[in-house]
Structure 1
Amino acid sequence: MKLPVTEHTGRPWRIHAHTPDFTVEDVWSFRMPGAGPDDFPRALAAITAGAGLDHQSGPTRLLFAIRWKLGALLGWDEPKAGLGPRVHSLRDRMPADLTATAPRTPGPGPFAPLYELPDECARELANKTVHAVMHLGWVPTPTGDHELRMAVLVKPNGRFGRLYMALIAPFRYLVVYPALTRQWEAAWRDRERLPKQ
């Protein structure tokens, strides 16, 4: 479910101190019935186990296939356009006690880990269009459960990046996030097949 930006900015997440030049683009919630205060690592393990395009819906797979094809044709995702050569990783801004909580190795997917704490984590990616952070947080609900919150923070690469973000907005809201909601909530329901964290 889409949430107002204040549901992210109003919480004391550590990511705020390191992203003052980023804009909060999207905030989304994912129901995790029965989740307790210490279940964040289990939720992450469940959604990671169900990650990958082969677990996505047909329309989502098609959208990503088109995006990766365009990226290959236009050079959006070349290594020189990503983290390091063009864009400094946010890890460079963060204290060692924070970055030591997650390995530098990327995966799964295109995001590279920044940190992972008991109630929040962050991952980043960069290409020719944007430098983006996916922040996941663990939030108590009025019913006593906890739910997963995702915030997407972006720094578009100039006018082209801003245009790109505007063009993909309808696809994010109508296809990608609803499919991600179904996938992640199903992964939580199927968590019993995973070993305890």
Structure 2
Amino acid sequence: MRLPRTAHTERPWRVHEFAHDFDIEDVWSYRTPGAGPDDFPVMLAAISAAGRLDQQGPPARALFAVRRKLGALFGWDRPGTGAGARVESLRKRVPAELRETADGSGADGPFTTVYETHDEAVRELANKTVHALMHLGWVPAGDGGYELRMAVLVKPNGRFGRLYMALVAPFRHLVIYPGLTRQWERAWRERPAAPEAPGGSP
């Protein structure tokens, strides 16, 4: 479900300290029935196992295929356009105690992990069009449980980047995010059961 930008800005996330020059593009929530306050790592593991962007349904995969072809044709994704090359990685901004929570390896296709805490994680990508952050947060839900929220923060690369973001917005809202909602909520529902503790107690 799409949320107002204030659903992200009003939360005390650590990312606010480091991403003040990024614009909030989208905020979405994902239902995780039965989740508790300590289940954020469980949800991240479920996403990693069954919720990757390259595991989406046919419409989203078709869009990603078109995007890859265009990127190859126009050089949007060449190594010199990424984080650490065209732009400085957000990892350079975060303090050591946060940077040490992740090694910067790939978390979901083109995204790399900046940091992870008990209730938030930041993933990053950059190319010729945009420098983008995917912020995942774990928040209390209206039913007394907890839910996942995703905020997409962007820094477009000049006029071209702003035009690109405007052109792809309908595809994000009508295809990518609805598909991601079904995928991530299913990943939560179908996550592996937690092992029982010795003696048969959960």
TM-score range relative to shorter protein = over 0.9
> Deviations along 1:85-132, whole A, 9 cap, x unmatched?
211001111100111111122233111111000000001000000000
Residues 1:101 and 2:101 aligned together: yes
C-alpha contact 2:48 2:107 (8 A) present in aligned 1: no
- Mapping 1:35-184, distance limit 5 Å: 35-52=35-52, 55-184=55-184
Q: 1:76 to 1:194 in 2, by over 3 A?
A: farther
Residues 1:10 and 2:14 aligned together: no
User: For the residues of structure 1 that align with 2:78 and 2:194, how far apart are their CA atoms?
Assistant: 35
Q: CA deviation at 1:54?
A: 5.4
> Deviations along 1:137-173, whole A, 9 cap, x unmatched?
0010121110000000000000000000000000000
Amino acid at match of 2:143: T
Say what the alpha-carbon RMSD is for the aligned residues: 1.3
- Who is 1:19 aligned against? 19
Specify the SS of the correspondent of 1:25: strand
Specify the SS of the correspondent of 1:185: helix
Specify the SS of the correspondent of 2:107: coil
C-alpha contact 1:121 1:135 (8 A) present in aligned 2: yes
- Who is 2:200 aligned against? none
User: For the residues of structure 2 that align with 1:41 and 1:77, how far apart are their CA atoms?
Assistant: 30
Q: 1:195 to 1:159 in 2, by over 3 A?
A: farther
Amino acid at match of 1:192: P
Specify the SS of the correspondent of 1:72: helix
User: For the residues of structure 2 that align with 1:74 and 1:16, how far apart are their CA atoms?
Assistant: 33
Specify the SS of the correspondent of 2:142: coil
Specify the SS of the correspondent of 2:29: strand
Gaps of 5+ in 2: 197-202
C-alpha contact 1:103 1:113 (8 A) present in aligned 2: yes
C-alpha contact 2:136 2:151 (8 A) present in aligned 1: yes
Q: CA deviation at 1:84?
A: 1.3
C-alpha contact 2:51 2:187 (8 A) present in aligned 1: no
User: For the residues of structure 1 that align with 2:23 and 2:162, how far apart are their CA atoms?
Assistant: 11
C-alpha contact 2:32 2:148 (8 A) present in aligned 1: yes
- Who is 2:192 aligned against? 192
C-alpha contact 1:76 1:127 (8 A) present in aligned 2: yes
Specify the SS of the correspondent of 2:192: helix
Identity of matched residues, %: 66
Q: How many residues align?
A: 196
> Deviations along 1:18-56, whole A, 9 cap, x unmatched?
011100000000000000000000000001101345521
C-alpha contact 1:2 1:28 (8 A) present in aligned 2: yes
TM-score (norm 1): 0.96
TM-score (norm 2): 0.94
- Who is 2:199 aligned against? none
C-alpha contact 1:46 1:194 (8 A) present in aligned 2: no
